């Protein structure tokens, strides 16, 4: 058994681990810091009905770029792609901090998402490259600590900046983090590259992007910018579905598809991919809507409203830090099944208490959801990684991260459409009763998503439990 000293900061790989933790910190902070500032951003720039785009376009850009980066990483190595992602995230953060309107902020969030699409999967892939399966069980504790710190620091910073300074600092704070992360990766990470001659499926990437954008646009703007059954909604939905169907056909014919759907044939890969999509949708349903619900329905301040996001985000790393020991003892399937059951119980509890907007109760339910996700997402991803060779590990990791981000983008779009529809039918976002009603439908969708995730976890193949 490898001792913790051999994988800690004092080991030969210690500087790389620190660099990966800092890179992960960029995404971890961004995942929690924005939600608490939504009301301040809307008050400054307007466009409450458009705020789901701040999350959806970021996740969409991340989702469609992940498979591209994963393919490039298998061709040219992890290091240059990771550095590119940090650079794009830095530029996007600066632009967001200087945004002059909601459309501009949405556009710059897309640029941030393109950077996150490289950082998130590459950090996970590098961990898979330099650590064994047994070592990764301990390394997850270090990575989880980043999310634990971010779960507290993110909402706190978001609340402080939006309440006392300016919401723009939630983006500008990324500047020193990006610079330090890039420096550490550039200086300390030297990979042994197994270079391969491969092609990037540009056509597939374009068709996939077009399909997802059309579907999300139809969902978010339907019933708001135009009627649900209007030519715009029906046309966009039809185009999006047709484009996604065309992407499936193209991916089967392409020599090097941007998303290798053949990797989904083993259950040990496609089941974690489905679970990852549910994780993304469930997580965005809580982090994007809970703070606004508490601020408008309970009159909570941004700092207090951020408690719900912090609780959810804190539960995840606390569970993930112990997930390694659990799945080595109980197996991937049983760990994921227990985690999914806990997350489902938390989501159902959230739906049950939504009519009594209390930050403490909402936070406790959110913590349960986050804890369950920590025991679900990590074991299923590692199970998928462990089932393939080095040359395919980047693609499998990218596929998993793509599913999570695409699930989050579609999830927040659907939840946003539900919320906007209920708000439009009532007295709008200024009426607490209408806000509660809209949020109850959103939380109901989150509970249904958690139930689907639980069913998928039960479908994990038993042989994968041995790792």
- Residue 340 confidence (pLDDT): 94
- Residue 284 confidence (pLDDT): 81
| Domain coordinates in residue numbering, the chain | 4-200+256-466, 201-255
Q: What is the 3-class SS of the chain, one letter each residue?
A: CCCHHHCCCCCCCHHHHHHHHHHHHHHHHHHHHCHHHHHHHHHHHCCHHHCHHHHHHHHHHHHHHHHHHHHHHHHHCHHHHHHHHHHHHHHHHHHHHCCCCHHHHHHHHHHHHHHHHHHHHHHHHHHHHHCCHHHHHHHHHHHHHHHHHHHHHHHHHHHHHHHHCCCCHHHHCHHHHHHHHHHHHHHHCCCCCCCCCCCCCHHHHHHHHHHHHHHHHHHHHECCCECCCCHHHHHHHHHHHHHHHHHHHHHHHCCCCCCCHHHHCCHHHHHHHHHHHHHHHHHHHHHHHHHHHHHHHCCCCHHHHHHHHHHHHHHHHHHHHHHHHHHHHHCHHHHHHHHHHHHHHHHHHHHHHCCCCCHHHHHHHHHHHHHHHHHHHHHHHHHHHHCCCHHHHHHHHHHHHHHHHHHHHHHHHHHHHHHHHHHHHCCCCCCHHHHHHHHHHHHHHHHHHHHHHHHHHHCCCHHHHHC
- Residue 196 confidence (pLDDT): 58
- Residue 146 confidence (pLDDT): 79
pLDDT tens string, the chain, 467 residues long: the values are: 444 446 666 676 777 888 888 888 888 788 778 877 777 888 888 766 677 778 878 878 887 787 788 778 877 788 889 999 999 999 999 999 999 888 899 999 999 999 988 887 788 778 877 787 777 767 777 777 777 677 677 777 887 887 788 889 989 989 998 998 889 888 888 776 665 566 677 788 889 888 888 888 888 777 666 777 788 888 988 999 999 999 989 888 877 787 778 888 888 888 899 999 999 898 888 887 888 788 777 777 777 777 777 777 778 778 877 777 788 788 888 888 999 999 999 999 999 988 887 888 888 998 999 899 989 988 888 888 877 776 677 678 778 878 887 888 888 888 888 887 887 776 666 677 788 888 889 899 999 999 999 999 998 887 543 33
- Residue 277 confidence (pLDDT): 92
Determine whether domain 4-200+256-466 maps to CATH 1.20.58.390.
no
């Amino acid at each position: 058994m490898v001792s913790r000293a051999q994988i800690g900061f004092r080991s030969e790989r210690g500087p790389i681990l620190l660099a990966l933790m800092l890179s992960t910190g960029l995404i971890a902070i961004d995942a929690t810091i924005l939600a608490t500032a939504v009301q301040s951003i809307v008050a400054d720039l307007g466009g409450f009905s458009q705020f789901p785009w701040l999350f959806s376009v970021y996740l969409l850009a991340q989702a469609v770029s992940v498979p591209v980066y994963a393919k490039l990483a298998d061709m040219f190595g992890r290091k240059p792609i990771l550095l590119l992602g940090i650079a794009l995230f830095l530029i996007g953060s600066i632009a967001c901090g200087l945004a002059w309107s909601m459309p501009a902020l949405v556009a710059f969030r897309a640029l941030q998402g393109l950077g996150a699409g490289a950082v998130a999967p590459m950090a996970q892939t590098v961990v898979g490259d330099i650590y064994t399966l047994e070592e990764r069980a301990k390394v997850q504790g270090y990575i989880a600590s980043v999310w634990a710190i971010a779960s507290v620091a993110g909402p706190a910073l978001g609340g402080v900046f939006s309440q006392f300074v300016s919401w723009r600092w939630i983006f500008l704070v990324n500047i020193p983090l990006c610079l330090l992360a890039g420096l550490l990766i550039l200086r300390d990470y030297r990979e042994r590259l197994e270079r391969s001659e491969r092609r990037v499926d540009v056509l597939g990437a374009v068709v996939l992007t077009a399909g997802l954008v059309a579907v999300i646009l139809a969902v978010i703007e339907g019933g708001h910018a135009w009627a649900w059954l209007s030519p715009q909604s029906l046309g966009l939905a039809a185009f999006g579905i047709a484009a996604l169907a065309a992407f499936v056909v193209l991916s089967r014919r392409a020599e090097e598809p941007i998303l290798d759907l053949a990797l989904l044939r083993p259950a040990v890969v496609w089941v974690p991919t489905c679970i990852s999509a549910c994780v993304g949708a469930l997580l965005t349903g809580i982090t994007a809507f809970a703070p606004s619900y508490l601020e408008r329905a309970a009159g909570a301040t941004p700092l207090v409203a951020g408690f719900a996001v912090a609780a959810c985000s804190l539960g995840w790393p606390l569970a993930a830090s112990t997930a390694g020991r659990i799945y080595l003892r109980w197996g991937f399937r049983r760990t994921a099944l227990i985690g999914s059951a806990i997350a489902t119980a938390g989501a159902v509890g959230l739906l049950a208490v939504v009519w009594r907007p209390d930050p403490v109760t909402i936070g406790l339910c959110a913590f349960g959801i986050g804890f369950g996700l920590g025991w679900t997402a990590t074991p299923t991803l590692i199970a998928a990684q462990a089932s393939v060779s080095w040359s395919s590990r980047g693609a499998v990791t990218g596929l998993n991260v793509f599913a999570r981000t695409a699930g989050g983008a579609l999830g927040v779009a659907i939840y946003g459409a539900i919320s906007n529809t209920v708000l439009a039918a009532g007295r709008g976002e200024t009426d607490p009763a209408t806000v509660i009603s809209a949020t109850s439908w959103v939380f109901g969708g989150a509970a249904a998503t958690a139930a689907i995730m639980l069913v998928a976890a039960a479908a994990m193949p038993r042989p994968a439990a041995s790792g």
